[in-house]
Structure 1
Amino acid sequence: MTDLFFVGGIWSIPLLGKLMRKDITVSESVSEQCERFMAELSKRMNCTVAFGTRRGLRLYTAGSFIKEKQTLVNGYKLALLSKRWLVNSEALSKMVSNGVRIIATPTCGMNDYSEWDDKYYFWSHAQMIGYYCLKATFVGRILRNQLKDKACVCAPIPITQSQDGYIVRNESIEGSAVLLAELDMEKLEKFLAEQNQIFGAFAR
């Protein structure tokens, strides 16, 4: 399993359930136990935990379940979204306008990894709209399936050190990894202010 820990206090962990292929199932009791464990972890570490179960995506902050799937982490708003929402430009733009700066998405690998799929869902809108995109993914061999994917943290190209739109990324599509990343919120706020100034001038 690949998970992401962020210095700002965010754990984003994909668990088996709705994120998996239809022919790979997990019992309701296992899903419940996982949720209890993650809630307790969130409480004891006083952090935010994002994960997926048979019941859908779950977000806990300091042990409390966040039904709205949005919470503040060190003063900045985080939203937990499913993968399909990452191509809804209008909804993402509205979220950023309303203060969302971090979007976390737990997902699951597939038998055939697609670099284009990765760019299309996770990387592209982080560039166009301007936010940190946190992707946690489940990889490894499950029954006869070899699940392949790459966990990553995406951000607008100008604020990434390597100038490629990635803060950090797992280079292996099969191996598990723990990715550590510090999110520079001041750089992101400065980027958004500059973009608003540029596009505001065009609008006039």
Structure 2
Amino acid sequence: MANGKSNLPAGRLIGIAAVAGVLAGALGVYVMGGPSGNNAPMVAGGAPDPQAVAACEAKTDAVAAIDPMIAGEVAAMLPADPPRLVSDLAFNDPEGQPMRLGDLGKVTLVNLWATWCAPCREEMPALNQLQADMGGEDFEVVAVNIDTGDDTKPKAFLQETGVDRLAYYRDNTLGLFNDLKRRNLALGLPVTLLVDEDGCLLGHMNGPAEWAGDDARKLIEAAM
């Protein structure tokens, strides 16, 4: 990688090829059971608020707005069909405290990564550059490390590679990855979700992409 950019090919087949390459390593991550995120707006009985669910499912116009931007270096992104509520996705904030995605209240590009995942390591500087270019009150790259164990390896990797603009979100329990797997959103790593300010999923991708390029910026702008 040079100047923070990888030389990934364009086209929707990127995701297929990338997923095939990381599935073998990701098999070690597939853990059955365990807690899933459960912090979406709730009603009595622990079920998601039907109004919030319906509001997300009605956001077909938002998905239609990003669809023309799914091209080139981000062509492996799949539009959500239908849009769905994912504000309950749970992980730890940079201070190590439990949080949910909906707490952020902004458009987010959620990316799950691990130090043992070569494509994850390859795209991390580009995600860092995307945050530097577009991050702020209305948008954030939420890169969630899912290494098991302590923070030694992931923090060392970020320091060694100069990734300094991404907040350190973390889940060492595999709960988040398994939650996405149950929702048919995760096949392997990296996995990326494009989510609006209301916690509604607009698009998702398995495999790496060039997040520092113009195609990625246009996609984020369309979501905003």
Flag whether TM exceeds 0.5 (same fold): no
Where relative contact order (Cα < 8 A, 6+ residues apart) is larger, the structure is 2
TM-score, normalised with respect to structure 1: 0.30
